[in-house]
């Protein structure tokens, strides 16, 4: 049976999440986070995805992004997650799936956008990784709260 097509609202923000297979850690070292972000920074603009907020947790990813066309989300995350999985497996001499199934995405209306950004950027605080969101280096909170430059944000 074919899977249901993803509903994309072009020009509207979406909350995108992806978890490690079996909830395994997908980021273990600083280089892993950096590799993912650098790959996302290349392919998001190439495929027309504006990034408004993001957070990389040890075993999952949260992105708030605005697709510029129907294929922006699929092309960006299929490419980024394929390349990152290849990097991850090569680095660890491993094989198999890194990510748990397809990424999840949900269009956000204005009422839910700010709550979603707060949820994404407060994730490291709720998880006990840092006392304040701006202290977590793998998140857009610092840019939003202090005005620090974040090359990934549109």
Q: What is the pTM of this model?
A: 0.94
Task: Tell me the average pLDDT across 49-53.
Answer: 98
Tens-place pLDDT, residues 83-136: 999 999 999 999 999 999 999 999 999 999 999 999 999 999 999 999 999 999
* Percent of the chain whose predicted confidence (pLDDT) is above 70: 98
Query: Which neighbouring-strand residues pair with 17?
Result: 62, 104
| Sequence spans of domains, the chain | 14-146
Confidence of residue 44 (pLDDT cuts 50, 70, 90): very high
Nearest to 49 by CA among 102, 85, 13: 13
DSSP letter at 135 equals G
CATH code given to domain 14-146: 3.30.70.1290
| DSSP-assigned states of every residue in 82-127 | HHHHHHHHHHHT--S--B-SSPEEEE--HHHHHHHHHHHHHHHHHT
């Amino acid at each position: 049976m074919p899977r249901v097509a993803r509903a994309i609202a072009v020009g509207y923000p979406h909350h995108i999440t992806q978890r490690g297979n079996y909830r395994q850690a997908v980021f273990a070292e600083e280089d892993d986070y950096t590799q993912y972000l650098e790959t996302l920074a290349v392919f998001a603009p190439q495929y027309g995805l504006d990034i408004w907020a993001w957070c990389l947790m040890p075993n999952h990813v949260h992105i708030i992004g605005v697709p510029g066309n129907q294929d922006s989300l699929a092309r960006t995350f299929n490419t980024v997650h394929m390349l990152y999985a290849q990097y991850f497996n090569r680095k660890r001499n491993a094989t198999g799936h890194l990510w748990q199934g397809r990424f999840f995405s949900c269009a956000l209306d204005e009422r839910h956008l700010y709550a979603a950004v707060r949820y994404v950027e407060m994730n490291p605080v709720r998880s006990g990784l840092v006392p304040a969101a701006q202290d977590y280096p793998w998140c857009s909170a610092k840019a939003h709260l202090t005005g620090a430059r974040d090359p990934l944000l549109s």
